[in-house]
Amino acid sequence: MASSTLVSASAEIPPTPLPGGGAWSRLRRRPGFLIAAFVAALMSAMAAVPQAFAGWFGAGDPRACDLVRSAQPPTAGHPFGFDVQGCDLYSTVVYGTRSSVVVAVLATAGMLVIAVVLGSLAGYHRGWADAVIGRVMDVFFGFPALVGMIVILQTLSVRNEVTVAAVLVLFGWPPLARVMRGSVLAVAGSEYVAAARGVGARTGRVLLRHVLPNSFGPVAVLTGLNIGLVISSESALTFLGVGLRTPAISWGVQLNTAQQYFTTAPHLLIFPSLFLSVTVLGFVLLGDALRDAFDPRTR
Amino acid sequence: MTPRTRRGWAGALTAVTLTLTACSPAQGGGAARGISSYSVGVTTYFLSHLLPGKAVGSNVDTALFTPLTRVDPVSGEAVNAVAAAIDTTDNITWTIGLRPGWTFHNGEPVTAQSFADSWNATAYGPNAYTNNFMFAPFKGYEELNPAKGKPTGKTLSGVEVVDAKTLRVTLTRPLALLPHMLAQSAFAPVPKAALTDAGAFDRRPIGNGPYQVDGPGMVTGATKLTLKRYENYPEEKGQAERIELKSYQDEGAAYRDLSAGAIDVTLITGNNLPAAAAQFKGRLVEVPFPALLYLGFPTWDKRFSDVRVRQAFSHAIDRETIVKTLLRGFGSPAKGLAGVAVPGGGEPDCAACSYDPAKARALLAEAGGWSGPLKLWTFQDGLNNVLLEAVGNQLRTNLGVQGISIQTQPVDQLYPNLKARKIDGPVLLYMGAGYPHLYALADQLFTKTSAANVTGYDSKDFAALLGKAAKAPEEEVLARTREATGKALADLPLTPLFQPTGALAHSERVSGVRPEFLGGVRLAAVKVL
Amino acid sequence: MGPYVLRRVLMAIPVLLGTTFVIYLAVYALPGDPIQALAGPNQVISPSVAQALRERFHLDQPLVVQYGLYLRGLLGGDLGTSFTGRPVTEIIAASWPVTAQLGGTAWIIMAVAGVALGVVAAVRRGAADAAVLFGTTLALGVPFFVVAYVTQIVFGVQLGWLPVSGVEAGWPLAYILPGLVLALSGLPQVARLTRTSVLDGLAADHVETAVAKGLTGTAVLFRHVVRNSLIPVVSLLGVSLGYLLGGTVLVEGIFNLPGLGYQIYTAIPQHDGPVVVGIGTMLVLVFLSVNLLVDLLYGVLDPRIRLG
């Protein structure tokens, strides 16, 4: 289930019609893309079937805990050691992939949709559309996002992947939209767009064929980073007491617990952070590769 | 019954001797700079209100104000401070004589009227002082806090100023522990200035304690409060000439500042303790808190109406291991309602507190077993969450309860929801004794009308036993209180889990670091080397 | 440009009013009992005191009346009184310098370091590019409260170079560590975006023309590439200010700085409407002003964009 979400989201990153075989073969030749694709596939698989990965070192049940082993460092059969509750850290980190990836993908996909639609409208049409969208953006962006998220999540009182992702979208879309608008603004002023308009192309066609593909680069790159930011924000929300919480297993929950013990048991922090960093790296590379592949200027 | 008199001299002498031994003559860097001064990290909360009517009862309040009595930390007895004698025959009407020589920091003498003024202001509902509830036992409280409409008077009829040095206090019901209650900073006296501008006084109080405020006080945006020694303090004067109180939003930041040498003393709790213990080996004073972490059962929920279910839960929790692992030994597994830090506590009076998984399973089976999911509740706090998760894991392992989830709410949602009986599972809570006596803890947790009784416990037998304790002569109060707590623990509306511990860590510049009742460092006792 | 600025300023008025109402509504809708929150860890408050406090802060009135009373005060320049009894204007006056210095420091670090890293990564490619990529990714993978604790321990406690917390050391010493931690949360985005934009710029036609005309590398880089590439980056820097101001909520707590972020963070659980609305609106105002400047800067950077 989660894997399909991930695949559909990575397919959503370029909102342009997929180009033909040319782009694909260029993509396949890029090492960055191969690494990124591998990481994304691995994380999707872990999110979908954690039980297939959790048992690799013998202990596969993240709920089989023995307090006596609380926060003990890695030993044979437990390559990551134990968390504060004495559970096998490797399997809890593997099981944590699902919540974190689902939140990250849901939130980023949501932000992208809003950002691309509103950003292009504002940047291409200018005028009142730009003014209204700009003002709405200002309110959402100017108000401290964390404060807003705390207030809303406290009011909702239901905290699951969907509500956390929704709140992250609500306060997370403006930077992407703003960048989208900026780059649409620049592209819309260029000669080839003027030329396309000159030969009488309809607005929708100009937007889809000429403006979007050429202005999507900066947003695609930010999207990769955004996935990392979203996972970090999820842990910040937990830190503030309004994020996901036990029995949910997520990297955010793990990192938040680990920070209370990081001077005495640093491994609690290192391993979830490592997984998080690798995932972020994968998505960053994916964003770069897609930008390079679909940007007509670098073809 | 013969009239009893509290004479505090013996107690006061003990305190003086202790202070003297703790502070052997030493000259250090502080003296070389001409003035002995040290800095303390305190939480922002401790500096939020300094008016007795709103005071939180911290070590800062104790440095600024001296009430009628104080509780001796060793004996647990209330000894006289400003009071010369506190007499009663029936635990209802009390005559309190004041000692001469006490003055406020502005030179105004401390009289019976100073106490009456302070108490009347706090007890007067429309003033909205948060410590108002503490005056409920006084005669005349109802008139100042009517359920509907405006108060009919402005003063408590139960507080009479007989003459400048004599107060007469009348309560609505017997309360043997009034002298303990009077030791709280809420009962401290105020000079006339507090009555004209309470807002200004709240930020820059004029008290009668061993230290006075130097400078503008807690003006908006201030992050520290400077105190200087009050030279006309009639008892043992403060050791250091100046104290800088730095306010911290995050206790961890205070600990890291102490490590960096930016402050001299701070209280450390929770997850910073293991690291601090390793770092400040010889400069760490452990502080057992007069408080209890407990698991309360929603007795209105039919799944918890059978005492055997509650006993099963209690026996299934391995308190020893949790203290050893998660608390790293900082805390005590509860064997009874109160630990040694609460006067009268330390008795192993909780039979259900032993770890016995087999018995737990048997009790649960007898009561019909458990089916369905289980929610465990607490308020937002990092350590609470970790502890509750461990409790949940043990309930799953030892009782086979599946589908355990942890729910947290802010305090301002959790307490009203508990009162409205909307919480559908056991709740992990922290409760400190309002004043230093087992009676206070028992009264808060188990009396039906107490705001802190969140389990819905309502026992006529318990009420009768505790009532006897309140009426008892001084020497019998504790024994009677224990009978009452024994009854409550047999009914087990809540099960004690741990008595938490903190620690005072300090720099090499200071000595004589000792805790106040609530855990903060006793400011007047710290000596600069 | 004059009428444009005037129009933007006029448009800010409904935005700010809307903001105050939305925030007021949000605080009003918070579940839980403000009076219970005010009682604090004490947990006990007598009914008469609760009633007196409700009347004093108009909590017994419906939302519309409360907001109306707030607006009436606002017209007279009164931002209301906090539940702690202090006027909100006094609280803002005491705390804004802290947040301004913190936000400013972080913003400068983020802009300078982010753009520099991005340009280096784009121009040098290869190892430099990979190093920037890995470094910034790592910064994202470690939650920033952890970064905060680690910097406090390393630079404050062990090396003793900088104060661990508090504002007593003044600017810049007291603001370097918190500013760095705050900047780190937005730096990867700035660096990545700069890199991408510069790469785009390098591939653009006019750059190829310039190189063909025989201009040297550095001149091309700065006159044609970086200047044009900065447009999306400046846009991001403008909006990042909002993000940075939001981040002060956490950073000010960890570094014990008495700024706006900390005030608003403590006011939320207290349901302290006047403080949340006052500070929230003020932060939006700061954001609007900065972004007006950013938009004006657009015109300077790119002559193709005319403001109107």
Q: Is the pLDDT of residue A262 over 80?
A: no
Distance to chain B for C31, nearest Cα, Å:
7
Domain ranges of chain B: 36-65+209-283+507-528, 70-175, 291-501
pLDDT digits (tens, 9 = 90+) for A212-223: 877 877 787 778
Chain B residues with CB under 8 Å of A82 CB are none
Most distant CA atoms of chain C, gap in Å? 85
Is CATH 3.40.1080.20 the right assignment for the domain spanning B70-175? no
pLDDT at site B33: 52
Chain B residues with CB under 8 Å of C53 CB are 128
By Cβ distance, the residue of C26, C134, C185 closest to A151 is C26
Identify the residue whose tokens are 């949000």.
Answer: C26
Higher-confidence position of A14 and A104: A104
User: Inter-chain contact A174–C196, Cβ cutoff 8 Å?
Assistant: no
Q: How many CB pairs under 8 A join B and C?
A: 132
User: Inter-chain contact C140–A152, Cβ cutoff 8 Å?
Assistant: no
d(CA B120, CA B138): 11
Burial class (CB in 10 A: 0-12, 13-18, 19+), B148: exposed
> In this predicted structure, which of A58-72, B255-269, C249-263 has the lowest mean pLDDT?
A58-72
Continuous H helices in A189-205: 191-198, 203-205
pLDDT digits (tens, 9 = 90+) for B74-83: 777 899 999 9
The superfamily in CATH containing domain B36-65+209-283+507-528 is Periplasmic binding protein-like II (3.40.190.10)
pLDDT at site A5: 27
Higher-confidence position of A68 and A111: A111
By Cβ distance, the residue of A135, A141, A277 closest to C141 is A277
Q: Please, are residues C233 and C115 in contact by the beta-carbon 8 Å criterion? A: yes
d(CA A189, CA C304): 7
User: Inter-chain contact A70–B271, Cβ cutoff 8 Å?
Assistant: no
Residue of B nearest to A63 (CA): B393
Give yes or no for B146 touching C (CB within 8 A).
yes
Chain B residues with CB under 8 Å of C255 CB are 253
pLDDT at site C205: 66
d(CA B443, CA B468): 12
The beta strands (E) that lie in B289-328 are given as 291-296
Q: Please, are residues B78 and B183 in contact by the beta-carbon 8 Å criterion? A: yes
pLDDT digits (tens, 9 = 90+) for B275-284: 888 889 889 9
d(CA A106, CA A122): 24
Compute the C-alpha angle B85/B90/B96, nearest 5°: 20
Q: Please, are residues C183 and C106 in contact by the beta-carbon 8 Å criterion? A: yes
Other Cβ atoms less than 10 A from the Cβ of C293: the count is: 12
Radius of gyration of chain B (CA): 24
Q: Is the pLDDT of residue C71 over 60?
A: yes
Tell me how far CA of residue A47 lies from CA of A250, A273, C143, C237, in angstroms. 11, 17, 21, 34
Give yes or no for A213 touching C (CB within 8 A).
no
d(CA B275, CA C2): 60
Tell me how far CA of residue B87 lies from CA of A106, A274, B93, B474, in angstroms. 71, 68, 8, 12
What ipTM, to 2 d.p.?
Answer: 0.82
Fill in the amino acid letter for B298.
P
User: Inter-chain contact C48–B260, Cβ cutoff 8 Å?
Assistant: no
Domain ranges of chain C: 2-75, 95-306
Beta-carbon contacts of residue B31 (< 8 Å; ≥ 6 apart)? B528
pLDDT tier at C40, thresholds 50, 70, 90: low
> In this predicted structure, which of A19-33, A250-264, B272-286, C260-274 has the lowest mean pLDDT?
A19-33
Beta-carbon contacts of residue B4 (< 8 Å; ≥ 6 apart)? B87, B88, B89, B473, B474
User: Inter-chain contact B260–C53, Cβ cutoff 8 Å?
Assistant: no
Q: Is the pLDDT of residue A156 over 80?
A: no
> What's the fold here for domain B291-501?
Dipeptide-binding Protein; domain 3 (3.10.105)
Burial class (CB in 10 A: 0-12, 13-18, 19+), C213: exposed
Is CATH 3.20.20.70 the right assignment for the domain spanning C95-306? no
Give yes or no for B31 touching C (CB within 8 A).
no
d(CA B269, CA B273): 6
Say which DSSP state A73 is in: P
The most confident of the ranges A181-195, B13-27, B515-529, C283-297 is B515-529
By Cβ distance, the residue of A70, A245, A247 closest to B408 is A245
pLDDT digits (tens, 9 = 90+) for C234-268: 877 877 877 788 788 888 988 989 999 888 888 88
Say which DSSP state C81 is in: B
Average pLDDT over residues B250-267: 90
Q: How many domains does chain A have?
A: 1
By Cβ distance, the residue of C11, C280, C298 closest to A135 is C11
Element (H, E) at B511: strand B510-511
Beta bridge partners of B229: B211
Radius of gyration of chain C (CA): 24
The most confident of the ranges A199-203, A280-284, B53-57, C237-241 is B53-57
Q: Please, are residues A219 and A186 in contact by the beta-carbon 8 Å criterion? A: no
Beta-carbon contacts of residue A48 (< 8 Å; ≥ 6 apart)? A1, A2, A3, A98
Name the nearest CA neighbour of B213 among B46, B35, B45, B50. Answer: B50
CATH number at residue A26: 1.10.3720.10
User: Inter-chain contact B412–C149, Cβ cutoff 8 Å?
Assistant: no
Residue of C nearest to B43 (CA): C256
Domain that holds residue A263: 3-298
Chain C residues with CB under 8 Å of B253 CB are 152, 164-165, 254-256
Give yes or no for B404 touching A (CB within 8 A).
yes
User: Inter-chain contact C254–B252, Cβ cutoff 8 Å?
Assistant: yes
> In this predicted structure, which of A59-68, C33-42, C216-225 has the lowest mean pLDDT?
C216-225
Tell me how far CA of residue B482 lies from CA of A25, B102, C213, in angstroms. 82, 37, 97
Identify the residue whose tokens are 């990042």.
Answer: C240
Higher-confidence position of B20 and B111: B111
By Cβ distance, the residue of B382, B396, B404 closest to A260 is B382
Give yes or no for A295 touching C (CB within 8 A).
yes
Give yes or no for B252 touching C (CB within 8 A).
yes
Higher-confidence position of B369 and C292: B369
Distance of CA C258 to the CA centre of its chain: 16
Q: What is the pTM of this model?
A: 0.83
Residues 169-208 of A with CB under 8 A from C: 174-175, 178-179, 181-183, 185-186, 189
By Cβ distance, the residue of C141, C284, C288 closest to A228 is C141
Q: Which residues of C124-152 are buried (b: 16+ CB within 10 A; e: fewer)?
A: eeeeebeebbeebbbbbbbbbbbbbbbbb
Give yes or no for B278 touching C (CB within 8 A).
no
Higher-confidence position of B362 and B30: B362
pLDDT tier at A278, thresholds 50, 70, 90: confident
Do domains B36-65+209-283+507-528 and B70-175 share one topology? The answer is: no
pLDDT at site B394: 93
Distance to chain A for B410, nearest Cα, Å:
9
Say which DSSP state B452 is in: T
Average pLDDT over residues B465-491: 93
Radius of gyration of chain A (CA): 21
Distance to chain A for C223, nearest Cα, Å:
17
Residues 407-436 of B with CB under 8 A from C: 409-413, 415-416
d(CA B448, CA B460): 9
Subunits with 3+ C-beta pairs closer than 8 A to B: A, C
